[in-house]
Structure 1
Amino acid sequence: MADSWMSLTRRRMLGAAFFGGGTLLSRCGFGSTGRRLQTHGRYLLDRIPSCPPGLRDAVRFPLVEALHGRRARRFGLGCTIPDGPLAHQSRHEPVPLTELEQMLLLTSIAGNTGWQYLIPHNDRYLPDIPNYAGAAGGRTFPSAGGIHTLEFFYTDDHGTYFLPTRDAPSLLPTDSGSDVDLNDYLAAHRERIRKLSDQRLHIPQSPAHMEMHNAWCANRPGSTLVIPVADAAQHGIANLCYWVQNRVCLFDDIRGNEIPGIEKYRDLVDVDQPLPLSFAEQILTAELSAEVSTACYAGMLMLQALGLGGWLYGGINPFSVLGASGDPEVPGLGFHFQTDDRWPLPNVTGLPGVLEGFCPPHYATMRDAVEAFVDRKYGPGGPFHPDTPGPYRETSRVRGSAAPHHPHFVDCVTTMATYIYETYGRFPATMSPMFILTYLQAHHLDLDFYDHHFQDGAYLRTHADHMRQWHGQA
């Protein structure tokens, strides 16, 4: 594999980025700086073995161009708009993404990027450091406090898959000066993929399951649809830990109740000035929304560099995707769900053996779920276990210095989590434990549609050149 298109090092990718940056700086008038970067970049680019020309273009594609050129480009090969001012019927058959194209996209959305950098300081924690993180590894998108509860599913013409990266160790060498072979990096992610079905996920093109403005283009043959799913129950426990660590407890403003038993934790939290439960869950929703959206946005930027069409959207019924629509003809991903007169919508808790929410029925009690989250943080492989490798010169000392979650602390968190679960019949109180907001779809663009209906500039040079640079078509 040494001479294959997959054998591309991080150093060489960095060189390509330097080359693109040097070109941009030169054009902006920063001549000497631009020339120095181009020289360094050309040296590194000279070491790239044979690979698709489009890959070389992608790794040196300017970030500024990706940002300014990003558009929702929905019309893929094989699509049809039957009528209206933008009516068009594609003359081409759909072309699915190649394995390389798909893996570059998936690792841009869900990829592990080494060890995350913990929050290093808080005066109130001294001599300890803050202890918010749930994962030791970092990914291509941010997560509030480094909690990271998001995992990824995707579907294409060949099946439906699960790509877990949430608790992956660093898939890059800890020595940032070392070369990282792209083949090894993509292979490390490919090995984590679990195939769930041989079929594309079935989502009917009807109002019960899909916004009808997406019916002609969403989840079509040839496309790859990426589905981020967050564990709101686990993130909710993490937030309770954060609140208690910062002397905050909750008050149930929805029912008008104080949480029974919270008084005995007055040494940990300010029981006289509690935070409203409704506000705490608004924050939970906002944090998860940011996480799933920034992951998809990272993928959108990669689409521009690869010259693929697609877009970030939310117009598919999440219950249809998860398998909780109530329609037996639409099994979705097959997640477990419950219904109750107390809830206006199904309560989706997890996919057994794949992605299980930190709540019953996947844990016997909320105490079990809280203790499992504490173990994720402080146990082997966790961000605060001294034996977990990391980016620091004294990693063991740094990881071992996090503020602990002692039994009294765990009891306080459990008291609030158990109250919510017993009062509302689920955890969190106001939302499903499994959270979906946005999807990212990728497909090969039908340039004829844009040439016919748009002025020049409707797509980027990477789109114009894609079939030639990636597929060898004239």
Structure 2
Amino acid sequence: MKDHDHPQSGLAAFLQEPLARVLWSRRTRRVPRGYDVPAGSASYTSKAEPVPLSKLEEAILIAATGATGLTMPDRPWQDDETGDPIMSKPNLVMEGRTAGSPDNAQGTYFFMINDEGTYFIRHLPPPEEGIDPWSEAALLSRAEAAKVRLLDRRIDVPTGMRDFPAYLDSNRFLSNRPGTTVFFPVVDLSHQYINGLMYLLTQPEKARPALIDDRNFYRPAGTKKWIRNGFLNKDIKLPLGAVYQMRTEIEASLLVQNLFLTTEALGLGGWIHGAISPPVLMGDPKFRGRFGTMLGFDYVSPKWRFMDLLRWHTLPVRAMRHVRSHAVGLTHQGEALIRCKCPPNYASMAEAVDTVVAGKFGPGGLYKDAGIFERIYKGDFGARYLREAAEYEQDVIACCRDICTYIHETHGRFPAHCEAIHAPGIWLQAHHVEEEYYEQLFRNGLTERQRQHMSRWHP
């Protein structure tokens, strides 16, 4: 009998929950088990003690952010009128995840915070074929393989500093408390920023946009040569500020919603909110003097240049020294957990661009691995796709190099109009709900999932 076949087990109940009912009953339940609610005449005092999530409960939540199998390149690779090849190899990876991603960039990483420590959740490949990914053994083993323990404690600011800019208003009373588990997402934008630029540059002739810099008087963004020779259309002007994050930031919000629905299906309390603000939590130099290094991201602070006065309205004064700093990576015990495609991680932006290209089309690159596409396609269709679908032309790569080099040389960082690592400013907290509080005050405070959770999961 499989681990989840027992009718009374919490895992069995979770796997049998209908999506429609979970969607319909999804509600924020902020109050964790064991916590009081000071609210005037509606105040509530808990008689319970906090109960942390079990390792299996957390493993299910980790699985809700992870890889699930291989995606399909179900797209045309020829122009329907001319028959010319079109770019149909935009993906950065082929491993699919529980939420979608532009060009399957999969740039979102999670941190998990609980009573035992603060963890980075590394990307794992999809489960091997033939293994039940929802068995208790598989869930627990994959969760342990994904977790990198950064701290042996729950990361937080000192008790007396639980106000802005660390926490917002009433959030500080119930957020990131003992017994709760928190998931905090960040998104590496740099990889897809380069990949997305190249995809823009593969548009049909006369439809390739001329990128301009709205932070530098709308001048060509390293594209003057390419406008003059007709590779880019001077009449289709695209500001770098409009390109912004290449939509890659959407990944995190989709994954957080998946986490929220998973907490509901488990019968837990779930709460998406802004808690420790990202610059504080990530260790931005502007806040290290007050809060310390926190998660300890690697930051770059561009040197001030005279034109920054006009481009970014900054001055060469101490107070503005780190105003344009941004995170470019995360290293733990010598391992680069996140390494953005930009200096100082690479000697130049040309090298960073070439690394992205090589990861797709170089020896050992994604689109040179026939075995992946044999697992995706039936018969020899994978080989046909690899043989017939186009790769980047050299002009596309060279133009992308020029744009990225321009951004870094002009603004002292890459990207300039958004961060290399974006934090949406939200996290999801999962906890056992304070049942009596919801029963006492609200007409529809709990579902049967919440009422039965403790007996199913913690008998």
Give a deviation string over 1:277-334, Cα, whole Å, max 9, x none.
11111x53xx234211110000111111100102122343111121113335332210
Please give the secondary structure, in 2, of the residue aligned with 1:89: coil
* Worse-superposed segment, 122-131 or 78-87: 122-131
Does residue 164 (structure 1) correspond to residue 122 (structure 2)? The answer is yes
Matches within 5 A, 1:134-283: 134-165=92-123, 168-173=124-129, 182=135, 183-184=137-138, 186-203=140-157, 204-246=161-203, 247-256=208-217, 257-264=219-226, 266=229, 268-281=231-244
Please give the secondary structure, in 2, of the residue aligned with 1:121: coil
CA distance in 1, matches of 2:453, 2:363: 44
Shift of 1:380: 6.7
Q: CA, structure 1 residues 151+382, in 2 after alignment: closer, same or farther (shift >3 Å)?
A: farther
Q: Which residue of 2 aligns with 1:374?
A: 357
Shift of 1:388: 4.2
Does residue 351 (structure 1) correspond to residue 339 (structure 2)? The answer is no
Q: In structure 1, give the amino acid aligned to 2:156.
A: H
CA distance in 2, matches of 1:318, 1:460: 33
From 376, 383, 390, the counterpart of 1:391? 376
Question: Is the 1:119–1:130 contact (alpha carbons within 8 Å) kept by the matching residues of 2?
Answer: no
CA distance in 2, matches of 1:63, 1:107: 17
Matches within 5 A, 1:329-340: 329-340=291-302
Shift of 1:172: 4.2
Q: Which residue of 1 aligns with 2:405?
A: 418
* Worse-superposed segment, 154-163 or 319-328: 319-328
Shift of 1:227: 1.3
Q: Which residue of 1 aligns with 2:391?
A: 404
CA distance in 2, matches of 1:148, 1:192: 15
Q: In structure 2, give the amino acid aligned to 1:411.
A: A
CA distance in 1, matches of 2:40, 2:325: 37
CA distance in 1, matches of 2:188, 2:34: 35
Q: Number of matched residues? A: 418
Question: Is the 1:205–1:212 contact (alpha carbons within 8 Å) kept by the matching residues of 2?
Answer: no
From 419, 424, 436, the counterpart of 1:448? 436
TM-score, structure 1 normalization: 0.81
* Worse-superposed segment, 401-410 or 140-149: 401-410
Please give the secondary structure, in 2, of the residue aligned with 1:312: strand
CA distance in 2, matches of 1:364, 1:248: 28
Q: Which residue of 1 aligns with 2:319?
A: none
Q: Which residue of 2 aligns with 1:133?
A: 91
Q: Which residue of 1 aligns with 2:53?
A: 97
Structure 1 unmatched runs, 5+: 9-47
Question: Is the 2:210–2:220 contact (alpha carbons within 8 Å) kept by the matching residues of 1?
Answer: no
Q: In structure 1, give the amino acid aligned to 2:72.
A: Y
Q: Which residue of 2 aligns with 1:327?
A: 289
Shift of 1:60: 1.0
CA distance in 1, matches of 2:176, 2:100: 27
Q: Which residue of 1 aligns with 2:250?
A: 290
Q: Which residue of 2 aligns with 1:34?
A: none
CA distance in 2, matches of 1:135, 1:348: 23
- Aligned-residue Cα RMSD (Å) equals 2.5
From 267, 278, 303, the counterpart of 2:263? 303
Q: CA, structure 1 residues 293+180, in 2 after alignment: closer, same or farther (shift >3 Å)?
A: closer
CA distance in 2, matches of 1:441, 1:399: 43
Give a deviation string over 1:241-274, Cα, whole Å, max 9, x none.
1111122341112312113454247464324423
Q: Which residue of 1 aligns with 2:450?
A: 463
Q: In structure 2, give the amino acid aligned to 1:140.
A: T
Structure 2 unmatched runs, 5+: 313-322
Please give the secondary structure, in 2, of the residue aligned with 1:93: coil
TM-score, structure 2 normalization: 0.84
